Structure 1
């Protein structure tokens, strides 16, 4: 059976909301550096991404565009309001609909959804990482999980195998 990878990435650091509104917050200068630094790390951790599900918030789209310049092959990209608005359970429902021939999915989203879903799915793997993820994920951090198939993805059905962080993250 083919093992698949799910990468749950919290967007890089963004500017404060101000008058722009949450969805239009751009990345800060530090966030642009984070996104550029995490791109090669994600490529190394995954060996390539087939599908990127990206929230429609400006900061997630910018995070993805910057990190994607470091990917060896461009994945299929779906920008979705559903990812922006998703809680852990609704994002899980979206992931269950991923085609079975998809080997690696990257989700670029928001806290607390990214860490909550990673913790919900992690039934095995590195317990030290699961404990860290349960406390939340810092900006430009990604939980890398191994899953057997997309359609039956559920609580404790994945192995948390890595936590990728932009350099300088704790």
Structure 2
């Protein structure tokens, strides 16, 4: 097994609670006060769990960028952060392709994105594999500030349906 094929961690995070979008384009919606608190709590949880992404792939939407910014203020860290419009526009297949292309030699990748894409991609990748408790929590809905932590053994370029196991599902509230 090559060094790139050793166990990896993929974390899909749905952005935190955003303001209602009645007065501005969806892409420009900002976090609500609760969203800022929850994103900070998500960062604290990532730090406490020892989940330090080598790469964060973040949607270009304002609310996802702010989610990662507040997670960092809560203690989350990352080696590299990339902003990809494909996480905003690409749906599950587009995000999957972005992870395949950008993952490289990284051991832990965190995607800050949107629903229903986060739920669809988690279901696609895990196909029921992993922790029963995590799947039960996820079945309640991939709510704002939800984090799906998956394990994967392979090269990111080969990431595909049914290749991950859902390890944890956590909803951060601050």
With normalisation by structure 1, the TM-score equals 0.91
- Aligned-pair Cα RMSD in Å: 1.7
Which structure shows the higher helix fraction?
2
Aligned-partner SS, 1:74:
coil
C-alpha change, 1:74 and 1:103, in structure 2 (3 Å) is same
Partner residue, 2:126 = 122
CA contact (8 A) 2:37 2:173 kept: no
Unaligned stretches of 5+ residues in structure 1: none
Q: Distance in 2 between matches of 1:46 and 1:96?
A: 24
Q: How many residues align?
A: 168
Q: Distance in 1 between matches of 2:133 and 2:121?
A: 17
Partner residue, 1:148 = 153
For residues 110-144 of structure 1, what are the alpha-carbon distances to aligned partners after superposition, in whole Å with 9 as ceiling and x for unaligned?
A: 00000110111114211342244355311001100
Q: Distance in 2 between matches of 1:39 and 1:130?
A: 22
C-alpha change, 1:133 and 1:72, in structure 2 (3 Å) is closer
Unaligned stretches of 5+ residues in structure 2: none
Shift of 1:154: 0.7
- 5 Å-filtered alignment, 1:61-100, equals 61-71=65-75, 73-100=77-104
For residues 43-75 of structure 1, what are the alpha-carbon distances to aligned partners after superposition, in whole Å with 9 as ceiling and x for unaligned?
A: 233531110111111100000011023446432
